[in-house]
Amino acid sequence: MNKFVFFGGKGGVGKTTVSSAYGLKCARDGLETLLVSTDPAHSTSDVFDQQFDDDPEPVEGHENLFAMELDPEEEVQRHMTDIKSTMSDQVSPAIVNEIDRQIELAHRTPGAYEAALFDRFIDVMRSSEEYDRVVFDTSPTGGTLRLLALPEFLESWIERLTAKRTESVDLFEKAAIGDKEARQKLAEDPIIRRLTERKKLFEFAGETLREQSAFYLVLNPDELSIEESHRAVADLTEAGLTVGGLVVNKVAPEPDEGETGTGATYLRERYRTEQDRLARIREEFDQPVVAVIEQRVSEIKGDLLSEVTAELGIETAASPPQA
């Protein structure tokens, strides 16, 4: 199993639950495990009844398990402040306000969340030496997984920007013939330096995601969720990332034979429909179904989490057992 494990899927399918269960499973198998979650609405904090924030903290009552929670809103702010301060060093005071306004607008566009989170994910991946396993519970929009698939695209975008900047610094230099300082400008240009740093970051991300990461999709036995998973598999596969398997969550339990009331009849119908969909999932996807988790009556925490942990057929071993 790879060091970094990502769980993705549509909103509410059970990403946080399954990530927590898998993290717990790794920790119980003796791996130093870090759980990284992003969704403040229902998150690792609720599952373990313990507040987590930006810094990894031990999860009480569970040896080897650590958790951190990223707040997307805060990440967007941080990202914005960071870019503003880099930019304001580069431009004349006269246009600082206009640039700030543009940066603020850019951070209100859809995708800003994911962009900021993506940067934080890279940070976490780079500074996780002390962990054997890092489990990412991705954000509900599905955009994060798509972004994760994009580092190569970002890399080439940055290359183009760098080329443009080099060209303009070069033109500037030609215009300033006789100015002995001009030649130095190219090497020291802060914008080129920044772009080069970003490029290295994306190279690192692409490599780490392709070579050291596993992706699992969580889905429910409903049509929308199945559709979405097909798209996610296609996106990830196209980017050279391997989807290790599917976790089908919230599957209706089968009522006992003898039960005949309206409730039992409804549940039986529903059970059949979902079993058909489950069969379809097994048939349509190349990826194995690694767990089928029944819908419980109450939300998953405490003992219920332990039960779900036991149902997860995802290996934890640092390297797959030799056949």
- Residues in the site for ligand ATP, rule: CB under 6 A? 9, 11-17, 39, 41-42, 140, 249-250, 293, 295-296, 299-300
If one asks whether residue 46 binds Mg ion (CB under 5 A), the answer comes out as no
If one asks whether residue 39 binds Mg ion (CB under 5 A), the answer comes out as yes
Interacting partner of 67 out of ligand ATP, Mg ion, none (Cβ under 5 to 8 A depending on kind):
none
If one asks whether residue 69 binds Mg ion (CB under 5 A), the answer comes out as no
Task: Output the CA angle 209-211-212, nearest 5 degrees.
Answer: 70
**Nearest to ligand ATP of 14, 56 (CB atom):** 14
- The CA distance from 33 to 91, in Å, is 44
Interacting partner of 162 out of ligand ATP, Mg ion, none (Cβ under 5 to 8 A depending on kind):
none
If one asks whether residue 141 binds Mg ion (CB under 5 A), the answer comes out as no
Closest separation between CB of residue 255 and ligand ATP, Å? 16
- The CA distance from 320 to 323, in Å, is 9
**Nearest to ligand ATP of 14, 23 (CB atom):** 14
Q: Measured at CB, which residue is nearest to Mg ion?
A: 16
**Nearest to ligand ATP of 158, 291 (CB atom):** 291
Closest separation between CB of residue 42 and ligand ATP, Å? 4
Closest separation between CB of residue 219 and ligand ATP, Å? 10
8 A C-beta contact, residue 170 and residue 186: yes
Task: Quickly list DSSP for 170-208.
Answer: HHHHHHTTT-TTHHHHHHH-HHHHHHHHHHHHHHHHHHH
Interacting partner of 133 out of Mg ion, ligand ATP, none (Cβ under 5 to 8 A depending on kind):
none
- The CA distance from 111 to 102, in Å, is 16
Closest separation between CB of residue 140 and Mg ion, Å? 6
Interacting partner of 293 out of Mg ion, ligand ATP, none (Cβ under 5 to 8 A depending on kind):
ligand ATP
**Nearest to Mg ion of 65, 218 (CB atom):** 218
Closest separation between CB of residue 37 and Mg ion, Å? 7
Q: Residue 261: left if φ>0, alpha if ψ -120 to 50, beta else—which one?
A: beta
If one asks whether residue 17 binds Mg ion (CB under 5 A), the answer comes out as no
- The CA distance from 262 to 256, in Å, is 13
For residue 251, which of 232, 230, 273 has the smallest C-alpha distance?
A: 273
8 A C-beta contact, residue 64 and residue 31: yes
**Nearest to ligand ATP of 20, 208 (CB atom):** 20
Cross-strand pairs, 245: 216
- The CA distance from 293 to 252, in Å, is 9
Q: Which of 2, 16, 141, 208 binds Mg ion (CB under 5 A)?
A: 16
> Structure tokens of 239?
């980017």
Interacting partner of 14 out of ligand ATP, Mg ion, none (Cβ under 5 to 8 A depending on kind):
ligand ATP
Question: Does an H or E element contain 82, and which?
Answer: helix 72-90
List contacts with Mg ion (CB under 5 A). 15-16, 39
